[in-house]
Amino acid sequence: MWVTPMTYAKVIAVTADVAWDVTLLTWGAYAPLQHLMTGEEYHSVCETMRLPNGTIFPLPMVLPVPASVAEAVHPGEDLEMVGRYGFAGQIKVTEIFKRDLLDEAATVYLTTDIRHPGVAHLLSQSPWCLAGDIKVLHPPDLPFREPVHPDQVKALIRKYQWRTIAAFQTRNPIHRAHEYLHKVALEVCDGLLLHPLIGSTKRDDIPAAIRMASYHILLDAYYPKHRVILATFPAAMRYAGPREALFHAIVRKNYGATHFIIGRDAAGVGDFYGPYDAIHLLEQHAQELGLTPLAFPAVGFCPRCQQTVSERTCPHRSEWFTLSGTQVRETLRAGQNLPAEFSRPEVSHYLQRALSTIAQEAEG
């Protein structure tokens, strides 16, 4: 029996990232997992990318707590969880266990290098974790109007009578290469689920509110009406490369997708992963997941062909016009617009103005 939060003797504060993981677990977004992992499940996932019953699941889902909390809590206790943005939840503790954070970094991220943002974040956490069944009393509030719950997205899919849905994960503004991937997918699928991650990202990534506004500008001008659903995925970015790309695919299936668009260096950062490692891992497990990968090689603008192309369609790879993510951010924050070959002018103008305003406010 769950008790009301007012009767709890013990309250634990959780981060916004953990609050959203807990919420998404209870919503079924991380199915088949719907609870915080036990020690056995945690070790199995780290070592094999599978739960103990053999079901594929690539990332740990745990509740880190300070050592003082771990020492004071006992299995069978009911605890209240509180967090930012109005989050409130409960956990019925079944187990307290300790992680080896360096071992987790090596197996999940394939590196212990603290220059990797996911590793740096992991190693800043407590190794102590609580496992148990969870209940969300109030999910964190979001400043966006777009659908966030899997049931909301599935209801729209039913409304539009789509049978095939291609999902796209992004943490960046959409540029012309992304648009190319979307529209190729729309040639073979009934609809597109544009599903940006709006949780925590690297400090130099473009803020979620600015990205969401830029998506609306692009969709209103260049995408067919009633063939795109823009929803939000409020989890944190882990930058875990192939494992996280596989996790993103599992989540999108839980939101109703039948296909998953995956490109070069999906969910990666720096040069920690090979450019096609994520594609290969997803293709290896696609049949088991029941999800069709739409895998794309490198895509860019070819001056000679005068259009956006891929390595499969264009022989002039060395001539392509490309910009790195760092170059994009530096250009925008310098108050300059991105080249039309890279970004739609309306999107570029908006991003430039928005980021310039943020920079001016920070200086002032």
Convert 119-138 into a string of H (helix), E (strand) and C (coil).
HHHHHCCCCEEEEEEEEEEE
Predicted confidence band of residue 2 (pLDDT cuts 50, 70, 90): very low
Our answer to whether residue 172 is catalytic in this structure is: yes
Q: What is the mean pLDDT of residues 284-298?
A: 96
Q: For residue 241, is pLDDT > 70?
A: yes
What's the whole-model pTM score? 0.94
Please pick, among 53, 145, 163, 172, the residue that the annotation labels catalytic: 172
Query: Does 298 or 119 have the greater pLDDT score?
Result: 119
Please pick, among 115, 145, 171, 227, the residue that the annotation labels catalytic: 171
User: What pLDDT score does 1 carry?
Assistant: 37
Q: What is the mean pLDDT of residues 31-51?
A: 97
- The structural domains of the chain, with segments of one domain joined by +, span 5-138, 150-363
Amino acid found at 19: A
User: What pLDDT score does 358 carry?
Assistant: 80
Specify the long-range contacts of residues 224-229, CB closer than 8 Å, at least 24 apart: 224/186, 226/160, 227/160, 227/186, 227/190, 227/191, 227/192, 228/182, 228/191, 228/192, 228/193, 228/194, 229/147, 229/153, 229/156, 229/157, 229/160, 229/191, 229/192, 229/193, 229/194
Domain at 150-363, CATH from 3.90.550.10, 3.40.720.10, 3.40.50.620, 3.40.50.1950: 3.40.50.620
Q: What is the mean pLDDT of residues 24-46?
A: 97
Q: What is the mean pLDDT of residues 304-325?
A: 91
Contact partners, residue 26, CB within 8 Å, separation at least 6: 34, 134, 135, 136
Query: Does 332 or 214 have the greater pLDDT score?
Result: 214
4-13, 66-75, 311-320: segment of lowest average pLDDT: 4-13
Distance between CA atoms of residues 81 and 312, nearest Å: 50
Is the distance from CB of 193 to CB of 215 less than 8 angstroms? no
215-219, 242-246, 328-332: segment of lowest average pLDDT: 328-332
User: What pLDDT score does 364 carry?
Assistant: 62
CA–CA distances in Å: residue 47 to residues 50, 108, 246, 260, 282: 8, 8, 15, 25, 18
User: What pLDDT score does 327 carry?
Assistant: 81
Q: Assign a CATH topology to domain 5-138.
A: Sulfate adenylyltransferase (3.10.400)
Report the percent of the chain where pLDDT is more than 70. 96
Phi, psi of 243 (to 5 degrees): -65, -40
Q: For residue 244, is pLDDT > 70?
A: yes
Distance between CA atoms of residues 252 and 12, nearest Å: 30
Handedness of CA 273, 30, 204, 222 (dihedral sign): positive
User: What pLDDT score does 144 carry?
Assistant: 96
Is the distance from CB of 190 to CB of 162 less than 8 angstroms? yes
Rounded to the nearest 10°, the torsion over CA 291, 233, 245, 184 is: 60
The domains spanning 5-138 and 150-363 adopt the same CATH topology = no
Q: What is the mean pLDDT of residues 206-227?
A: 96
Q: State how far Cα 163 lies from the chain centre.
A: 24
Q: Is the peptide bond before 32 cis (omega within 30 degrees of 0)?
A: yes
Q: For residue 6, is pLDDT > 90?
A: no
Predicted confidence band of residue 355 (pLDDT cuts 50, 70, 90): confident
Amino acid found at 59: L
Mean pLDDT score across all residues of the chain: 94
User: What pLDDT score does 336 carry?
Assistant: 86
Predicted confidence band of residue 197 (pLDDT cuts 50, 70, 90): very high
Q: For residue 271, is pLDDT > 60?
A: yes
User: What pLDDT score does 25 carry?
Assistant: 98
